[in-house]
Amino acid sequence: MAETPGALTAWRALRSKLARWAGDGREGFASRYAAHLAVISLVVFALFLNRIELPHVVADPPIPTPAPHLGERTYVPLADRSGLRVMAKQTLVRAPVPHTKIPDRPRREVITYTVQSGDTVLGIAAKFGLQGETIVWANSSLEDSPDFLMPGQILNILPVDGVYHTVQAKDTLESIAKKYKVDVSAITGCEYNNLTEPYELVVGQCLIVPGGEKPYVARHISAWQGPIPDNVERGTGLFGWPVSGYLTQGYWSQHRAIDIGSPIGTPVYAADSGFVTFAGWTELGYGRLVVIDHRNGFVTYYAHLDACYVEAGKSVGKGALIGAVGDTGRSTGPHLHFEVRHEGVQRNPLVYLK
């Protein structure tokens, strides 16, 4: 540390006084501590002149920042024997991970499902990862009218795709396998059936037939038996849309028609010219139905009507008002069920609609 001129002069004056004091021969208390007092005074004086600041001492060390994603590091102040504060580190704990994903597990039994308003066979099948045919083949209530549902209806839901068969008198594994076009091993090897040799069947027993199939059976309405007017127009084979709305269900193996959703009371029109062979209520699931024979091999069905505005035996032109959209029969909501049949075979209406 460099000395300033003022400090040097003060030091010389102090040293001269001390020398005179010591030279007087004074012994004792003052002589023993005089030198120490002089040194301390000199240091204090020099610090004052140079304005040196003492460093600030921090009482407690800073608490470290917790590591990301690993939980917090907690430090607790403790007191040791000297009274000083020390920091003790606790155990580091990994933070819990939220939203644990539970893996899907396969079902091992048949469950049931209650049909809701707006449901379709394909929609229900998609909920359970099955094909639409499996829903139909597992429920006898759908066999006669495989494309119609009603709210509150209870359906069997298989754990795998296939057929649900109820054992009848004289049934054998061989006859069941042949009926549904599978090998016997498909039935005996299905863990859900719990079959063990010698594979004795009991009447009323329900078996899952994995990969099994059932033939599709179309519903037919009795045709008009009276005379056909001479002035009946023949259809063109090009069909107009019978109603305004949106497609709620398309054409597939167990629903050989299209469903067009629309509010109750929406007008329904003849898709092509022809002759009305049926108009009224049917117990086959159609509810109120109008059937038009277009006299060229084509026949169209208009089902679930709220009202029929034509009568059987009458001729209608293309675009004629024939009814109103409804929710009658086996239906899960207001819509028009529209079929196109050619030579008795149900065809995809979307192919013909223009």
pLDDT tens, 181-225? 999 999 999 999 989 989 989 999 999 999 999 988 888 887 777
Which residue in 282, 287, 288 sits closest to 322, CA to CA?
Answer: 288
> Residue 177: pLDDT above 70?
yes
> What residue ranges do the domains of the chain occupy?
1-73, 111-210, 246-351
The pLDDT tens digits of the residues spanning 71-99 come to: 444 444 444 444 444 444 444 445 554 44
Q: How confident is the model at residue 86, as a pLDDT?
A: 43
Amino acid at 10: A
Q: How confident is the model at residue 323, as a pLDDT?
A: 98
Strand 335-342 with 345-347, pairing: antiparallel
Residue 141 CB contacts under 8 Å (≥ 6 apart), including other chains: 153, 155
* Fold classified for 111-210: Membrane-bound Lytic Murein Transglycosylase D; Chain A (3.10.350)
Task: Calculate the average pLDDT of the chain.
Answer: 80
Match domain 246-351 to its CATH number in 1.10.1040.10, 3.30.470.20, 3.40.50.300, 2.70.70.10: 2.70.70.10
Q: How far is CA 303 from CA 169, 257, 299, 324, in A?
A: 38, 11, 13, 10
Q: How far is CA 148 from CA 88, 301, 329, in A?
A: 73, 14, 9
The pLDDT tens digits of the residues spanning 21-75 come to: 555 544 544 555 556 566 666 656 655 555 545 455 444 555 544 444 444 444 4
Identical fold for domains 111-210 and 246-351, yes or no, is: no
Q: How confident is the model at residue 222, as a pLDDT?
A: 72
DSSP 174-207: HHHHHHTT--HHHHHT-GGG---TT----TT-EE
